[in-house]
Amino acid sequence: MALREIVRMGHPVLRAPAEPVPASAMRSPAFARLVDDMIETMREADGVGLAAPQVGIGWRLFVYEAAGTGSDAIPLRVAVNPVLEPEPGDPVEDWEGCLSIPDLRGLVPRHPAVRLRALDRHGEPYERRVEGFEARIAQHENDHLDGVLFLDRMTSLRSLAFLEEWHRFLVGAAGGRAERPE
């Protein structure tokens, strides 16, 4: 496994819609390496999610995982060619960051629960209902596949803060735990 460079806002790959991963590519060793590298890169960067465009690859693929205790923990998940379907419910605001937009945090409204349909890393389809923090991560990562960044989803930029000031003045203001970037 190897760490990949995480591209930052301004790189055009973050603004381009990603292409579906072809079935033939999914069987290649290069694809397995990419998935392994993304997982390692996410963990090394202390992120809770990483989408392929963030490592310069325009494919519809993301990984996520959040350490935690008990019910807080979100196990590692790989989503290839995902489709998200929001469930009914009022949007919930919470803090988000992004590995491609370092050291900024902002309040972002998201659907409280979504249905995630995707392929796993071996091409097997799965479907899960995810809610809360996991639903937030899935929506953030899925946005990356459409060239959308969390700043685009903010209804106001007034909460936008540098990480240091966020820790000092704002942490806990929305009761969130999304302090790790995605």
Binding site for Zn ion (CB under 5 A): 98, 182
Q: What is the number of the residue whose Cβ is closest to Zn ion?
A: 98
Least Å distance, CB 141 to Zn ion, is: 7
Active site residue 40: no
Tell me whether residue 134 or residue 182 sits nearer to Zn ion (CB atom): 182
| Least distance between Zn ion and beta carbon 92 (Å) | 18
Q: Which is nearer to Zn ion, 115 or 153 (CB)?
A: 153
Least distance in angstroms from the C-beta of 27 to Zn ion: 28
CB 121 within 8 A of CB 32: yes
Closer Cβ to Zn ion, 16 or 32, answer by number: 16
- Between 26 and 142, name the residue whose CB sits nearer to Zn ion: 142
* CA pair distance 28, 15, nearest whole angstrom: 27
Nearest CB to Zn ion, comparing residues 14 and 26: 14
Among residues 65, 134, 141, 182, the one annotated as catalytic is 141
As measured in angstroms, the least distance from the Cβ of 6 to Zn ion is 9
SS3 for the chain is: CCCCCCCCECEHHHHCCCECCCHHHHCCHHHHHHHHHHHHHHHHCCCCEEEHHHHCCCECEEEEEECCCHHHCEEEEEEEEEEEEECCCCCEEEEEEECCEEEEEEEEEECCEEEEEEECCCCCEEEEEEEHHHHHHHHHHHHHCCCCCHHHHCCCHHHCEEHHHHHHHHCCCCCCCCCCCC
Q: How far is the CB of 64 from Zn ion (least distance, A)?
A: 10
- Which residue numbers are catalytic? 141
